[in-house]
Every structure is written in C-alpha cells, then in structure tokens.
Amino acid sequence: MIRFERVTKTYGAGTAGATTAVDDLTLEAPTGRITVLVGPSGCGKTTTLRMVNRMITPTSGTITIDGRDTAALDVAELRRNIGYVIQHAGLFPHRTVVDNVATVPRLLGVDRRTARARAMELIERVGLDPSLARRYPAQLSGGQQQRVGVARALAADPPVMLMDEPFSAVDPVVREQLQNEFLRLQSDLGKTILFVTHDIDEAIKLGDQVAVLRVGGVLAQLDTPARLLADPVDDFVAEFVGRDRGYRALAFEDAPELALTTEPTTRLGAPGDEVRAIGQPWVLALGADGDPVGWVRADAVTTTVDATLLHRGGTVARSDGSLRALLDAALSSPSGRGVVADRDGRFLGTILASQVVPAIEARREHKEVPAS
C-alpha cells in the first residue's frame, strides 16, 4: 500500500511566486489495485506521482510504501521497486526495442542473455509482435511505443507502478485497445498502481478507486467509480464527472437474469422470401457460429441476405455483462428488441427496454438506505 499522510508540495515556498501544487493530501493506494488521480490541468497530479519515487521532494508530510517511509529509503533502492511510465513512453531513441526493455535488469546486473530473454517475454505480453524487437523507437507507431514503455517499466517486476498519462498521446481507438490490454495485464500481475489522467472516462474505466483533485492540489473525492458517478460530493465533482451519470453508473451493475424472448432468425445468404415469411419487419441474422451479425429489414432483401444489408447500429449485450450494456442493446436495436449473447458470443434471445427498466428500479429500491 502507498500511503500519503498530510502531504503538501509548495514550489518556491517562501517566495512571492510560491505555488501550492499539492495541499495536505491524505490518500491510500491499496496493494494490488489501480488508484487513478484525475482532475483539471494544474491540479497537482504529476507532482503527486513524482513525490512517490522522489523525483520531487514534499514540502511536508510523509509517503510510505508498505509502512516504510520513502524519505528514509535509499533512493536507488526505492526506484528499483517502482516502475514508471510516462506519456510518449520516453524510450531511448538509440536503443532497439528489446534493449530498451532490458535496460533496468541490465543496470541491476542481470546478464545480457537473461535480460533479453525476459524482455522478449514482456514484449509479447504487452501485445507486441516479437518481430518489432529489433526496431528502434522511431520505427514504431505511437501505440506500439507506449506498449514498449509499459514493458520496460515491468521489466524489473516492480510491485509498484507509477503511470503518468501513459495512453494520452494516441488516437481514441488505439487508446481503448491499450486500456483493455492494460486491464488484462493487471488482472494477471496485480501491481499497486498510481495512474494519472485528465480524462474522467479513462479514470472510471481503469480505476478500482478514483481520486478527484481540484486546482490547488486539494483532494475533492476519493471513491470507487460507481460511487463517484452515483454520489458526487459537490458541484465541482459532479461537473467534472460529467453528464449521463445515472446511465454511466449502470456499467457497474451486473445484468440481472431476465427472461429472454426467443427470436426467429435468419442467416447470410438466406433468400428474401424466407426472410419475409417470418412476418417481422426486422429479422436478426446470425453468423456460422450462431453469433448475431446484425438486423436486416425484411422488405429490403430483394435476392438474398447479404452483409451490405445489415444494420450496424445495434449493440450486443452479454448475459454476464452490465445493466448498461443490456439497456443499450435494447435502445440501440432498430427493432427495439435488444440482442443478448452468451459469454462465447452466441445468440441467446432478445429483451425489451421495458423489461430492463423495472430491473433497474428494483435494484434502486433494494439499495435505498432507510431514513434514520
């Protein structure tokens, strides 16, 4: 566990231009969990992170890791136990990918062969093709560079990771892939992670807990993503957390077991007459594995059902997914019937929004705390 105890950082303390970047921060980042620091520009996120590995010295207060005061530790030893990932990855431009990843183990005295073998393992683990290992950073895309940055930080297997906007410099599609891979990796590795972002959606997606900071470095709220959405402490947090909070909070509620409706389906290549004989204006098409591929409007099928006729807007909810995904499947379906699949992606049945909403209300009643 990383613990901040009444930590303050004032740049230029005692001078006319003094700036308090972090103000009396008390916070615990639990072992094996992701704690996200989020807030507007200049609220002290980076300063907070860098005080942990002592790149910045607090003006007052203490930071402990597993009960040990970081100020009392040898700084080299402290940093050996902390992986650090930054925006744009910060790779060494004149070293190949594999040598970048092997840097820290080599510094720690691991022999070249062993360090490289471990680096290759990590390169694959973060989702990079091993053929990229011999390239130089400039020969990689932004997303690939970020993956190398994560692999490098993991190379010495540190229990603690500090990550400062590691996915901010890539486009939204790559960013989502990196986030998903990061969560998968973390579910295997269970590192104690402090993660900085200015993006509340990223914070809510990645954080086991989220600390919202306001400018001046004051902690506004520390909570789970679900609680942050459901119960912001004040207008600043409410505004920062953003719109559609009620709907977004449903992402943290497991889908209830609701009775699904059996749906007549068609398949790619089916003749139009067969589709129309079903007698529904919209018919769901399944792929070869029984996976829903899209809705088709029966009267639009002149010859056979082909992929170009499929309506692409509908989402598919998984039976083991969230209430939000279930409601979204119903709302986004052109037929009004939300498509539900099992965990392997096979079609199970459909559901109406009018069945999901009562389930949401039932949950709410169940959770309501009686007034004392």
Ligand X SMILES: Nc1ncnc2c1ncn2[C@@H]1O[C@H](COP(=O)(O)OP(=O)(O)OP(=O)(O)O)[C@@H](O)[C@H]1O
Q: Which residues bind ligand X (CB under 6 A)?
A: 11-12, 19, 21, 41-47, 198
For the bound state, the minimum distance from the C-beta of residue 223 to ligand X, rounded and expressed in Å, comes to 19
CB of 353 to ligand X, least distance (A): 39
What distance in Å separates the CA atoms of residue 75 and residue 11, rounded to the nearest whole number? 21
Of the pair 45, 175, the CB lying nearest ligand X is at 45
Min separation Cβ 11 and ligand X, Å? 3
* Residue nearer to ligand X on the CB measure, 39 or 321: 39
- Shortest gap between Cβ of 197 and ligand X (angstroms)? 9
H-run or E-run covering 89: none
145 in Cβ contact with 137 (< 8 Å)? yes
CB of 36 to ligand X, least distance (A): 13
Q: Between residues 25 and 82, which has the closer beta carbon with respect to ligand X?
A: 25
Burial (CB count within 10 angstroms: exposed 0-12, middle 13-18, buried 19+), residue 315: middle
Instruction: Give whichever of 9 and 248 is closer to ligand X, judged by the CB atom.
Output: 9
Using alpha carbons, select from 221, 227, 189, 184 the residue that is nearest to residue 206.
184
Q: How far is the CB of 206 from ligand X (least distance, A)?
A: 16
The first and second tokens of residue 98, run together, are: 């594999």
- For ligand X, the closer CB: 175 or 324: 175
Phi, psi angles (nearest 5°) of residue 30:
-65, 150
Question: What is d(CA 164, CA 323) in angstroms, rounded to the nearest whole number?
Answer: 31
> Based on CB atoms, which residue is closest to ligand X, 16 or 371?
16
**Residue type for position 361:** E
Q: Are 144 and 135 in contact (CB under 8 A)?
A: no
- 210 backbone dihedrals φ, ψ, rounded to 5°: -130, 130
Smallest separation (angstroms) from ligand X to the CB of 75: 19
Cβ 27 to ligand X shortest distance, Å? 15
**Cα-trace Rg, the chain:** 25
Q: Give the span between the Cα atoms of 368 and 223, in whole angstroms.
A: 19
Q: Which is nearer to ligand X, 42 or 159 (CB)?
A: 42
Contact 126, 150 (CB under 8 A): yes
**DSSP letters of 23-72?**
EEEEEEE-TTSEEEEE-STTSSHHHHHHHHTTSS--SEEEEEETTEEGGG
Q: Which positions ≥6 away from 262 have C-beta within 8 Å?
A: 349
**Contact of 246 with 221, CB cutoff 8 Å:** no
